[in-house]
């Protein structure tokens, strides 16, 4: 464990009252107060993603989130394996809980990172939480990133994982009717699109969709959270524009339907949704709006706005118990949809 990880662990163990005094004046935006542990951690440890070229940014972001993640659940076992994807072999991390039924549900998970950065380690701890709490197998996908790949190839990879699990459900001891999709930020974009694509395709549908601080439109507005949270830790408006420059070079494909699932004129008939947004996040408003659109279209929606948390909180269990508790709540809600039979 490096010194910065030790600093974060020490901060997490301190009472909120003391941490608040150490962090200084509270940060408040749009009526939300930033969690004191996150506030202090962002000042006490170098959590910047790094500057320079894309590879330096990727390395910096991965190192930062390696520090903020909580420990994985010890009861869960995992291994990395490959399957055939549309552009060649794809790697996935396969998690198995210690306690499970003969035939189990499954969760397909897609990590954050703007479709440009991060990997299977990004939400590793949360994947173990889901496996344990949901008593489900979890498949986390190392989908292709931009700019090496072209949008919407990451979504093609996700659909290939869906097909792989469905086609191999019997040998995996999985109930094909109890397969959920889940993701955070760009992974939320992938998950939201999968549900819409599966609806259009017909056949077996996702049992549920978990969308954590989802990115569901390329529109960068000049109002609301896009302005008030433009410089919040860890996602800023500048970072979003950085991602867009690699995913949509010269603005190409920004109006693609799969880049804007919130604009689908028919959102009816989609799987039950759990949508979680964060108070300190420039894309808070678009996630809230998508939850409301899903609800208005007649879908079952459970919506949380965790006001004291930030973007990327699925990976902040090592910083604050509030993030860990939010993750546990989301996993419990997902479990209800996977164990209704």
Which two structure tokens, joined as six digits, stand for 292?
Answer: 């409301």
185 is catalytic: yes
Q: How confident is the model at residue 10 (pLDDT cuts 50, 70, 90)?
A: confident
User: Which residue do the tokens 């009861």 mark?
Assistant: 75
Q: Are strands 28-29 and 32-33 parallel, antiparallel or unpaired?
A: antiparallel
Distance CA 280, CA 311 (A): 7
Which one of 281, 285, 315, 333 is the catalytic residue?
281
pLDDT 10s digits, 317-334? 999 999 999 999 999 999
Backbone angles phi, psi at 318, to 5 degrees: -85, -5
Q: What is the pLDDT of residue 19?
A: 87
Distance CA 140, CA 226 (A): 29
* Higher-pLDDT residue of 220, 196: 196
Which two structure tokens, joined as six digits, stand for 319?
Answer: 């910083």
Is the distance from CB of 330 to CB of 305 less than 8 angstroms?
no
Which one of 311, 312, 315, 333 is the catalytic residue?
311
Q: What is the mean pLDDT of residues 29-57?
A: 81
Is the distance from CB of 233 to CB of 47 less than 8 angstroms?
yes
Q: How confident is the model at residue 11 (pLDDT cuts 50, 70, 90)?
A: confident
Work out the percent of the chain whose per-residue pLDDT is above 90.
84
pLDDT 10s digits, 290-308? 999 999 999 999 999 999 9
Q: Where are the domains of the chain?
A: 3-338
Is the distance from CB of 51 to CB of 58 less than 8 angstroms?
no
The residues facing 183 across adjacent strands are 110, 211
315 is catalytic: no
17 is catalytic: no
Q: Work out the number of other CB atoms within 10 angstroms of the CB of residue 142.
A: 19
Is the distance from CB of 208 to CB of 271 less than 8 angstroms?
yes
Q: What is the pLDDT of residue 153?
A: 98
The residues facing 292 across adjacent strands are none
Mean pLDDT score across all residues of the chain = 94
Q: What is the mean pLDDT of residues 27-48?
A: 86
Q: How confident is the model at residue 118 (pLDDT cuts 50, 70, 90)?
A: very high
Q: Does residue 47 carry a pLDDT above 70?
A: no
Burial-class residue 203 by CB neighbours within 10 Å (0-12, 13-18, 19+): exposed
Q: Does residue 110 carry a pLDDT above 90?
A: yes
Buried b (16+ CB within 10 A) or exposed e, 45-66: bebebbeeebeebbebbbbbbb
Q: What is the pTM of this model?
A: 0.96
Sign of CA dihedral 49, 256, 93, 83: negative
Q: What is the pLDDT of residue 309?
A: 98
Distance CA 192, CA 184 (A): 10
Q: How confident is the model at residue 5 (pLDDT cuts 50, 70, 90)?
A: confident
Is the distance from CB of 272 to CB of 208 less than 8 angstroms?
yes
Helix 124-134 with 321-338: angle, nearest 10 deg: 40
CATH superfamily to which 3-338 belongs = Alpha/Beta hydrolase fold, catalytic domain (3.40.50.1820)
Distance CA 49, CA 158 (A): 26
User: Which residue do the tokens 């009816």 mark?
Assistant: 268
Distance CA 307, CA 181 (A): 24
Q: What is the mean pLDDT of residues 2-18?
A: 77
pLDDT 10s digits, 180-208? 999 999 999 999 999 999 999 999 999 99
Q: What is the pLDDT of residue 7?
A: 73
């Amino acid at each position: 464990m490096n010194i910065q990880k030790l600093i974060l662990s020490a901060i997490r163990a301190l009472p909120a009252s003391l941490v608040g005094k150490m962090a200084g004046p509270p940060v408040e935006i749009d009526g939300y107060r930033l969690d004191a542990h996150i506030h202090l951690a962002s000042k006490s440890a170098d959590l910047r993603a790094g500057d320079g070229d894309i590879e330096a940014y990727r390395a910096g972001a991965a190192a930062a989130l390696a520090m903020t993640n909580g420990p994985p659940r010890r009861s869960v076992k995992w291994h990395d394996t490959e399957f055939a994807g549309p552009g060649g072999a794809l790697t996935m991390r396969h998690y198995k809980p210690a306690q499970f039924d003969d035939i189990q549900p499954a969760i397909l998970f897609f990590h954050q990172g703007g479709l440009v950065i991060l990997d299977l380690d990004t939400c590793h701890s949360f994947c173990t939480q889901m496996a344990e709490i949901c008593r489900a197998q979890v498949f986390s996908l190392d989908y292709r990133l931009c700019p090496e790949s072209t949008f919407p190839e990451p979504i093609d990879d996700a659909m290939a994982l869906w097909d792989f699990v469905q086609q191999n459900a019997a040998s995996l001891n999985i109930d094909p009717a109890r397969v959920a999709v889940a993701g955070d930020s760009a992974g939320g974009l992938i998950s939201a699109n999968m549900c819409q694509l599966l609806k259009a395709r017909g056949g077996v549908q996702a049992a549920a969709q978990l969308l954590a601080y989802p990115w569901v439109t390329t529109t960068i507005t000049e109002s609301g959270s896009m302005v008030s949270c433009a410089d919040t830790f860890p996602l800023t408006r500048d970072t979003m524009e950085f991602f867009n420059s690699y995913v949509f070079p010269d603005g190409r494909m920004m109006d693609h339907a799969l880049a804007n699932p919130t604009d689908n004129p028919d959102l009816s008939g989609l799987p039950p949704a759990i949508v979680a947004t964060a108070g300190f996040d420039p894309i808070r408003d678009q996630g809230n709006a998508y939850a409301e659109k899903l609800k208005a279209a007649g879908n079952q929606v459970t919506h949380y706005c965790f006001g004291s948390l930030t973007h990327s909180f699925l990976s902040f269990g090592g910083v604050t118990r509030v993030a860990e508790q939010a993750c546990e709540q989301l996993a419990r809600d997902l479990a209800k949809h996977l164990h209704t039979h």
